[in-house]
């Protein structure tokens, strides 16, 4: 069982609120990712990190921001949530710095913005 945790699992908030989705892993992985996925649809990479103090934008443009102050922690923040941000956000980590290693996914955070 993978040791990667996301909170909250479900969040319903109003437009304009600031939210932070938490992601922590205890496997000591340097590389971490955030994916956005609408129900039953494809995975879109929105952010990734090679390690502490490293953050990179993914293939899909996102208004969210991320930080990586500690190896095990990779939170995602939306300063002002909008209904268009409604989606599932999946955090993942891998031992490999390249794409050659298995991705371990958290259980996801399902965000609904009213």
Partner 1 sequence: GQQVMQIPQYQHVQEGEDFTTYCNSSTTLSNIQWYKQRPGGHPVFLIQLVKSGEVKKQKRLTFQFGEAKKNSSLHITATQTTDVGTYFCAGTSDYGGSQGNLIFGKGTKLSVKP
Exposed, middle or buried: residue 26 (CB in 10 Å: 0-12, 13-18, 19+)?
Answer: exposed
Name 31's bridge partners. 94
Stretch touching partner 1 by CB under 8 A, among 11-19, 20-28, 43-51, 63-71: 43-51
Site for partner 1 contains 102 (CB under 8 A): yes
Q: Which of 19, 103, 111, 113 binds partner 1 (CB under 8 A)?
A: 103
Burial classification of residue 2, based on how many CB atoms lie within 10 Å of its CB (0-12 exposed, 13-18 middle, 19 or more buried): middle
Q: What residues form DSSP beta bridges with 104?
A: 93
Q: Residue 43's beta-bridge partner residues? A: none
Among 56, 63, 77, 80, binds partner 1 (CB under 8 A): 56
- Site residues for partner 1, window 58-87 (CB under 8 A)? 58-59
Cα gap 17→99, rounded to integer Å: 35
Q: Which of 19, 32, 33, 64 binds partner 1 (CB under 8 A)?
A: 33
Minimum gap (Å) between residue 27 Cβ and partner 1: 13
Residues that bind partner 1 in the complex, under the rule CB under 8 A:
33, 40-43, 45, 48, 56, 58-59, 90, 97-100, 102-108
């Amino acid at each position: 069982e993978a040791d990667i945790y996301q909170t909250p699992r479900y969040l319903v908030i109003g437009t304009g609120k600031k939210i932070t989705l938490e992601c922590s892993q205890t496997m000591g992985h340097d590389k971490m990712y955030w994916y956005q996925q609408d129900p039953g649809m494809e995975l879109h990479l929105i952010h990734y990190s090679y390690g502490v103090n490293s953050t990179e934008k993914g293939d899909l443009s996102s208004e969210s921001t991320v930080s990586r102050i500690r190896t095990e922690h990779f939170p995602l923040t939306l300063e002002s949530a909008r209904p268009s941000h409604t989606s599932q956000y999946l955090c993942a980590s891998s031992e490999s710095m390249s794409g050659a290693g298995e991705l371990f996914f958290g259980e996801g955070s399902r965000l609904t913005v009213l």
